Amino acid sequence: MSELMKREDQQLENTWDLTTIFESDEAWEEALKNIESRIGEEEKFKSGFDSKEVLLEALELERDIDIDFGKVYVYAHLKHDQDTSNDVYSNLESRARSLGVKLSSAWSFFLPTLMEIDADTLTEWAEDESFKDFKLDIEKINKRRPHVLSDKEEKLLAEAGEVLSTPTSTYMMFNNADLTFDKAKDKDGKEYSVTQGTFVDLLKSSDRELRQSAYENLYSAYQGFENTMSKTLEGVVNAHIFSSNARGYESARAQALANNHIPEAVYDQLVETVNNNLHLLHRYTELRKELLGLDELKMYDIYTPLVNEEFKMTYEEAQEWMLNALQPLGDEYVSIVKEGLDNRWVDIYENKGKRSGAYSSGTYGTNPYILMNWQDNVDNLFTLAHEFGHSVHSYYSRKNQPANISGYSIFVAEVASTFNEALLADYMYNKLDDKKKQLYLLNEQLEGFRGTVFRQTMFAEFEHKIHSLKESGVPLTAGKLNEIYGELNKKYYGDAVSYDEYISREWARIPHFYMNYYVYQYATGYSAAASLSKQVLEGGSEVAERYINEFLKKGSSNYPIEILKNAGVDMTTAEPIENAMKFFEEKLEQFEKLIKE
């Protein structure tokens, strides 16, 4: 394997152009100092808002400073990520983070002071045309009123934050730093390191002995600490329940979903609808058992590809595939993607010290930027299309909404990116005349759906069960957690799988269970994207325009449920989840037919 190039050896055209944010590091330095000098301007508002004009002035000041800070932070974090070994940019990012903390502290008075204005007065002020950019923000603040405590109580809760986060920080430190696993061995006795990063790749191996060894070694380690890890998980559940009780919510879930104004029925409906369609996942696992030629299908056989096909793809070829696949979204959308490709929004290739993985970043007033570590394969093509989904969503939202509502909720964050992947998969499947490559694409889609909809819904069901049990006074012992998780795993994967004691402990390695009712949004987002992409492919330019105008351009100008509804997907009904299940069934039928030809 050839040695990675240094950052300075990258060709300019293959790197992102950050001079559109700041022409130089010196310009960044000047901008940072300018923001620092503005800390203190907020002092005049600490005595209260005795008129709507004063409140509007404060809102606009905070927004203006936030816009400037966004540019300072994004420039620093992108410069740092392009080469994390560069001390100059590590320092810039550290200073930007420090400035963010100072700003947050300086403006911490704002919400409590705003709450001193009664709800009716605040609502009346918000009706004024001059408040149009802030009307929804004020509406959300008024909705939070019943759950905002006195100044003294709020201060106490804030100070308790570090204590309440201890179970999560303890788990993360133990799981990522302290916990180690025995090396796995393949059929020839060759050893492989088992880490959080390599585990799934080892489970994808065609060598079954290696898969089994990695699987058993990892879960044996968790088994040795399951009582400790049950206590960290119980601790974080206790923290969620404490917070919801303190603020007067009916449950921990009610508080978690209220943050994005998501009805709890959306959560229950997801679980119920997926449960009603588990026969499709069972059918898939039965097919997996048949195609792998196994007498017993074990959980360590679930990840290995059913189609082994090397699918090479250069970056130049990938651009062409992507642009063609996105044509259903119209000329304007495609022209924005071309602008990104031509004007260096993408940092393409890996170099020494570059942050791993891929993401889309940027802020109000900048271009979107995409970090890649390009490898010549089709998986990277899908990653590129995915990140451009985020980037164009951000581009449209920032161009069409004021800064304070130009971002978008986590509930809808993965819709545009998954949507692009769906268009790409459909286009490629219809254009390819290589049966093995078609099967590869179908296998990837089936696996993506299994991992994102079925698996994340199983996680969501587990998460709600353990919170509900604890709220009713049941201790979350290791034995209880193993029992709940093991039963759910059997229910989801069906009779084709031969189960063992190891998989019952998988709950211990999932960090998302510490993120307070987060995982369900993967499944709802995927389902919404599946529905919307199908509508666009079948409905033509008019439907594509609705998707762009009612979804991509909206930012957070409305509640996420309403934005999706206006775009054509009502997540308060079972229909989008049902449509997603039909999509999975169609792909499964295509795969079954093609692989048996």
Residue written as token pair 């130049």: 316
Residue 50, SS3 per DSSP: coil
Three-class secondary structure assignment of 560-581: HHHHHHHHCCCCCCCHHHHHHH
- The strand pair at 346-347 and 191-192 is best described as unpaired
Q: Which tokens is 25 given?
A: 């590091």
Using CB atoms within 10 Å of the CB of residue 74, give its burial: 0 to 12 exposed, 13 to 18 middle, 19+ buried.
buried
As a whole number of Å, the CA-based R_g of the chain is 25
> How many other CB atoms are there within 10 angstroms of residue 470's CB atom?
18
Q: Which amino acid is it at 553? A: K
d(CA 339, CA 345): 8
The contacts of residue 367 (CB under 8 Å, 6+ apart) are 20, 340, 343, 345, 395
d(CA 446, CA 580): 12
d(CA 179, CA 279): 37
Residue 305, SS3 per DSSP: coil
Asked if 506 contacts 489 with a C-beta cutoff of 8 angstroms, the reply is yes
Task: Provide the 8-state DSSP code for 201.
Answer: H
Q: In which element (H, E) is residue 378 found?
A: helix 378-400
List residues bridging with 191 in a β-sheet.
185
The contacts of residue 186 (CB under 8 Å, 6+ apart) are 192, 205, 207, 209, 210, 213
Q: Which tokens is 590 given?
A: 């295509």
The contacts of residue 69 (CB under 8 Å, 6+ apart) are 35, 99, 100, 103
Residue written as token pair 């998460």: 463
Residues belonging to the active site: 387
